[in-house]
Amino acid sequence: SYAPVPAKEDFLGCLMKEIPARLLYAKSSPDYPTVLTQTIRNSRWSTPQNVQPLYIITPTNASHIQSAVVCGRRHSVRLRVRSGGHDYEGLSYRSEKPEKFAVVDLNKMRAVVVDGYARTAWVESGAQLGELYYAIAKNSPVLAFPAGVCPSIGVGGNFAGGGFGMLLRKYGIAAENVIDVKVVDPDGKLLDKSSMSADHFWAVRGGGGESFGIVVSWQVKLLPVPPTVTVFKIPKTVQQGAVDLVNKWQLVGPALPGDLMIRVIAAGNTATFEALYLGTCKTLLPLMSSKFPELGMNPYHCNEMPWIKSVPFIHLGKEAGLDDLLNRNNTFKPFAEYKSDYVLQPFPKPVWEQIFGWLAKPGAGIMIMDPYGATISATPEAATPFPHRQGVLFNIQYVNYWFAEAAGGPPLQWSKDMYNFMEPYVSKNPRQAYANYRDIDLGRNEVVNDISTYSSGKVWGEKYFKGNFQRLAITKGKVDPQDYFRNEQSIPPLVEKY
Ligand code: FDA
């Protein structure tokens, strides 16, 4: 269905007919290294041993993206899409195997248009979450959006894989609050909700990035927050009773009202209880003394502020300000390894004791634990591809950083050992994981006859998507049967045979 290839035209020649040359970077161009590395967050994937793109395309409008897809298909060059570059395994800009590919980098497409009357906004994929939050708050101090905690995450990848933060108990995930999208499909067509199939619209909102086309922009529902919210951070060491407190928290945290989220960050011998409450200190105090008196929360722990200030406060601390939401020059680029788990049964208390033992070992990382319950657990599993709903007590993210390439041995070993240790105590069959905390150790696609196989995808795919994986694969089979948009963990096409 594609026009005949003109003699001698190559991929770059094709692009140059439609896209200004200043938006294209070949490997040989002097700016290529800067453009490639500017949004790489995990330094493991910026070394030259990684298979890097032949070209980087930085579109400024949807038609450039459409041209990139048409040229890519005509000349057999695959495209990987990058919005904020936070992918834990770097799959938005590197390939594990030799492959001819280009990156469509959306960092120049980051407009946010808020409609305060309709309580909606259109946001382009290349915006970072902080830019979305900032634009909403500028329009109204009592509207918000429930997506990730870290302000530099890209809207594109975060919404595509679910997206959750401190509002998850009140409003669920980002993807379930998306009401329309603009997507470039594998034929280069620009679709929206009214022109795409219902399954395609379902799949782009939580089924993971890359697989279902390039999402140009998202229309989201804005959600009410009170003018004043309250934040606290209470650290407790093991000597101060951290074990008993987390042991209680695992039951209390998921059962609190949706207005209160208390997550736990466990690092070394300390558990820090970090909370966002949608209300004032005055109403939070009696709630805490009735539900979780053991924590000893008192008025001195209260930090009252508008919701927008709570975002940098929670992420970076008291001194952080609104500028941090807009900062695109984050220089914190450690070497990193991440894994995740879902917990359905409370841990016996001795397991918490052992966990603090693990957190004190050489090479130890930290654990970030987000309680579920309330809205995130009330949404049916099949409503979006994100399946971690009823019955989940909390999510665990294991995060491990190091700062020199050669220092990776102990942290990588710890991550593996810790993950093995936790197996008996977390979800099973499948052992669930969060798609946005991508972990390539869960499995990689095998490609046979130029198509990723369903059987290889099922191994990692059911961990991220449970029973929704098959519907995602069938949808992929309809939207992209030739598997043009793919990476090591993209949804494989399942084409029904009649
Ligand atoms: P990136 O650009 O690397 O893309 C990720 C994936 O989506 C890739 O496969 C890419 O091809 C695809 N993709 C990107 N843009 C697309 C588009 N427009 N259309 C189609 N596919 C596209 N998560 C969370 O839910 N809550 C949190 O609080 C945090 N916190 C956090 C902190 C830090 C420091 C990091 C590094 C990461 C997180 N995350 C997170 C995880 C984060 O949500 C996840 O890495 C997202 O996929 C990142 O989206 P980016 O656009 O930045 O990544």
463 has pLDDT over 90: yes
| Single residue among 388, 408, 433 that ends a domain in this structure | 433
Instruction: Give 312 Cα–ligand 1 centroid separation in angstroms.
Output: 19
Q: Average pLDDT for residues 318-346, to the nearest whole number?
A: 95
The residue nearest atom 10 of ligand 1, judged by CA position, is 92
In a domain, 462, yes or no: no
Q: Are 162 and 235 contained in the same domain?
A: no
In a domain, 316, yes or no: no
In a domain, 365, yes or no: yes
Q: 3-state SS string over 443-476?
A: CCCCEECCEECHHHHHHHHHHHHCCHHHHHHHHH
Instruction: Give 9 Cα–ligand 1 centroid separation in angstroms.
Output: 34
Q: Are 178 and 193 contained in the same domain?
A: yes
The boundaries of the domain holding residue 198 are 112-224
Q: Confirm if 422 and 429 have CB atoms less than 8 A apart.
A: no
Tens-place pLDDT, residues 337-353: 999 999 999 999 999 99
Tens-place pLDDT, residues 342-381: 999 999 999 999 999 999 999 999 999 999 999 999 999 9
pLDDT, residue 7, reads 58
Q: Confirm if 175 and 162 have CB atoms less than 8 A apart.
A: yes
Tens-place pLDDT, residues 78-121: 999 999 999 999 999 999 999 999 999 999 999 999 999 999 99
Q: Confirm if 84 and 130 have CB atoms less than 8 A apart.
A: no
Atom of ligand 1 nearest to the CA of 183: 19
> Residue 431: exposed, middle, or buried by beta-carbon count in 10 A (0-12, 13-18, 19+)?
middle
Number of independent structural domains in the chain: 3
Atom of ligand 1 nearest to the CA of 125: 18
Q: Which of 44, 64, 78, 92 to mutate to test the pocket of ligand 1 (most atoms within 8 A of CB)?
A: 92
| Single residue among 105, 133, 155 that ends a domain in this structure | 105
CATH number of domain containing 298:
3.40.462.20
In a domain, 147, yes or no: yes
Q: Are 143 and 172 contained in the same domain?
A: yes
> How far is residue 299 from each of residues 225, 233, 292, measured CA to CA in Å?
22, 12, 15
Instruction: Give 41 Cα–ligand 1 centroid separation in angstroms.
Output: 11
Tens-place pLDDT, residues 267-301: 999 999 999 999 999 999 999 999 999 999 999 99
Q: With bands split at pLDDT 50, 70 and 90, how would you rate the model's confidence at 496?
A: confident
The residue nearest atom 25 of ligand 1, judged by CA position, is 163
The model's pTM is 0.97
| Single residue among 105, 129, 150 that ends a domain in this structure | 105
Tens-place pLDDT, residues 389-444: 999 999 999 999 999 999 999 999 999 999 999 999 999 999 999 999 999 999 99
pLDDT, residue 4, reads 58
Give ligand 1 pocket residues (Cβ under 6 A).
41, 80-88, 91-92, 106, 125, 148-150, 153-154, 156-158, 160-165, 209-210, 214-215, 436, 487
Amino acid sitting at position 319: E
